[in-house]
Structure 1
Amino acid sequence: MRSTPVDGFRLTYDRAGSGWPVVLLHGWPGDRTDYRDMVPLLSESLDVVIPDLRGFGTSDKHDADPAEQYSAKAQARSIAGLIEELDLERPVIAGYDIGSRTAQTLATCRPDLVGALVVAPPLPGVGRRALDESAQREFWYQAFHQSPLIECLIDGKPDAVRDYLAYIWGRWSGPHYAVHSDQLEHLVSVYGAPGAFAASIAWYRAGAGAVATSLAEATPEPGRRVGMPTKVLWPEHDPLFPREWSDRLDDFFSDVELRYLDGVGHFSPLEAPQPFAAEVLSAADRLNSGKAV
């Protein structure tokens, strides 16, 4: 299915099940199929909407100013438009990676549209720790994504896309997970067309990556913290976001619970679909029962 345009971008999305609404937001490098193992766990009792974000999958990709059209606020505008178009009332918004940052931005900019959050890193509170030597060894790719070399070396070259994505998935996943060959080939098919890889990294070129965002963050006043119930799922083996960075969540969220995901790397919906789905179901149940207002 395709949404109506927001800023000229139409989103492709899947929808399954019925019940309290939930919107699942994918990460990089991924697309809406990141949630393929979670949808069956949720759709028996929830109305599940899974879009491709701007520039990803089969959603629109435009040659536009990244800061204007691919930032966290721009991605959030598209999700807000989809929520309003589908008349979803106070959905649970769940996400990781880019999807997490988009969910948090939506909760800040349009709190009227969000019932609860279930998110994995990135989360605020990192600050200048993003510049630590150990962090910079992992975040090198964000500087690389700013370079025009991408268009020369990777964009439109499926074999190069395959090698790069296989490296990223192998580096960021936990010790007991390996991306399935079918999933990798699917990602090559959607990231490998001319312009597709460049569109996927427009997020970083917009300055929305973890390093730039962490360095620019400021602790909000208590009344300006994210107010809706928020469950944070923090993996054990995410090389980008070590667990010690979870120490300042209360500075940014007024109603937050932290759960550690043991044995799991960066790709939490794929590596831990059952616990992730359980938290989404729990959040939806609390909203449905009227316990969260």
Structure 2
Amino acid sequence: MVERGTVRGGAVEIAYERHGDPAGWPVVLVHGFPYDPRCYDEVAARLAAAGADVVVPWMRGYGPTRYRDAQVVRSGQQVAFAHDLRDLVTGLGLRRPVVAGFDWGGRAACVAALLWPDLVGGLVSVDGYNVHDVAAMAATPEEPQVESRLWYQWYLHSERGRAGLAAHRRAFTRQLWREWSPTWEVPAGVFEATAASFDNPDFVDTVVHSYRVRYALEPGDPAYDADEAVVAAQPPITVPTIVVDTTADPLSPPMTLEQHRADLTDLVDHRLVATGHNPPQEDPVAFADAVLALHRHLG
């Protein structure tokens, strides 16, 4: 049985699905861009069968999650994501859950673990230390072959790009699914089941802000300035962590164990999975196994 509900956060009313026994060991699974909770359907079922209390939210700008104030910044900055995750965990009374995610969701999980390590029991992070160094990103270009794969970001830096996303949000996001998961044959109906979440009235503004604020092209929400200053120092993450690295994601080639250990002081395991950008949906068994392994490690 799947329960749906909402939690009143500081900036948004966070919609979520809950699988399994509410008395079980807690897990929060956070999706990325451009996905939604459907990417975790099989992972959540496997974890619930193993005794977990699994909570899967819609991130701000997606599905039924809504901003609470018409005037608040439709912020896609990393600390805003982390605050939403903290609000969800505390609002549901989850005690030191395992938090897991990729892309935006991985960033929410990493930044929450960095800022509030007592909140998080353990972390499963795709790509490891998924925390933006905004100052470095704003000043230092990547190699051209890397930059070319980020066309969607540069497109969204312009008002023409904002209009393009608004007019063609399904075609835009479907193109990214094709590019980012080149070895995955998306089953019939799977993209369509997720794409409805992109009809959220704040999807475009939140996405555009996310891809501008990370390069310091737009200011963040002043409400998060103090925590952004902490994150800007790029401190390590100290909670027990399992890293999942993907081998077929053109955006994120795998890193070495030593590279991950530089930023993750309690690295429990480093796992390679033969997927593209969306590992929980492309290989739900491997993703669920990573969460289960961390749960066993935590005892």
Say yes or no: TM over 0.5. yes
Give the secondary-structure state (helix, strand or coil) at the position aligned to 1:270: helix
| More off after superposition, 183-192 vs 119-128 | 119-128
Pairwise mapping of residues 102-117 of structure 1 onto structure 2 (< 5 A)? 102-117=108-123
Q: Does 1:207 align with 2:214?
A: yes
Which residue in 2 is equivalent to 1:171? 179
Name stretches of at least 5 consecutive residues in structure 2 with no aligned partner.
217-230
Contact 1:23 1:94 in 2 (8 A): yes
Corresponding residue number in structure 1 for 2:273: 261
> 1:130: how far off?
6.4
Q: 1:1-293, aligned counterparts within 5 Å?
A: 1-18=4-21, 19-44=24-49, 45-61=51-67, 64-66=72-74, 69-121=75-127, 123=129, 131-155=142-166, 157=167, 160-175=168-183, 177-192=184-199, 195-207=202-214, 224-244=235-255, 248-256=259-267, 257-262=269-274, 264-287=275-298, 289=299
Aligned residues of 2:106 and 2:125 also touching (Cα < 8 A): yes
Partners of 1:246 and 1:174 lie apart in 2 by 25
* Alpha-carbon distance in 2 for matches of 1:219, 1:75: 18
Partner amino acid for 2:287?
A: F
In the superposition, the TM-score normalised over structure 2's length comes to: 0.82
2:10–2:87: 8 Å Cα contact kept in structure 1?
no
Task: Output the CA distance in 2 between the equivalents of 1:233 and 1:105.
Answer: 17
| Separation (CA, whole Å) in 2 of partners of 1:119 and 1:258 | 10
Q: Distance in 2 between matches of 1:130 and 1:123?
A: 20
C-alpha distance in 1 between matches for 2:18 and 2:127? 25
Greater strand share, structure number: 2
Aligned pair in 2 of structure 1 residues 71, 195: CA closer, same or farther (>3 Å)?
closer
| Amino acid in structure 1 at the alignment position of 2:12 | F
Q: Note closer, same or farther for the CA distance 1:121–1:46 as it changes in structure 2 (3 Å cut).
A: same
What is the Cα-based RMSD across aligned positions, in Å? 2.6
| Maintained 8 Å contact 1:118/1:232 | yes
Structure 1 Cα separation of the partners of residues 128 and 297 of structure 2: 24
State how far apart, in whole Å, the 2-side matches of 1:95 and 1:130 are: 26
Contact 1:91–1:116 under 8 Å retained in 2: yes
Distance (whole Å) between structure 2 residues aligned to residue 193 and residue 283 of structure 1: 34
Contact 1:150 1:198 in 2 (8 A): no
CA change 1:130–1:42 in 2 (3 A) is farther
Q: Partners in 1 of 2:120 and 2:79 — Cα distance? A: 15
Given that 1:124 and 1:249 are in contact with CA atoms closer than 8 Å, whether structure 2 keeps it comes out as no
CA distance in 2 between counterparts of 1:201 and 1:243 reads 27
Aligned mates of 2:141, 2:259 — CA distance in 1? 14
Cα distance between partner residues in 2 of 1:12 and 1:194: 15
The answer (yes or no) to whether the contact 1:219–1:251 under 8 Å persists in 2 is no
Mapped to 2, the partners of 1:201 and 1:180 lie a distance apart of 28
Q: Is the 8 A contact 1:107 1:114 kept in 2?
A: yes
> Partner amino acid for 2:241?
T
For these two proteins, the number of residue pairs brought into alignment is 271
Preserved CA contact (<8 Å) 1:9 1:59: yes
Deviation beyond 4 Å, 4+ runs, structure 1: 124-130, 217-220, 244-247
Please report how far the alpha carbon of residue 231 of structure 1 lies from its aligned counterpart in structure 2 after TM superposition: 0.6
> Could you tell me how far 1:78 is from its partner in structure 2?
1.3
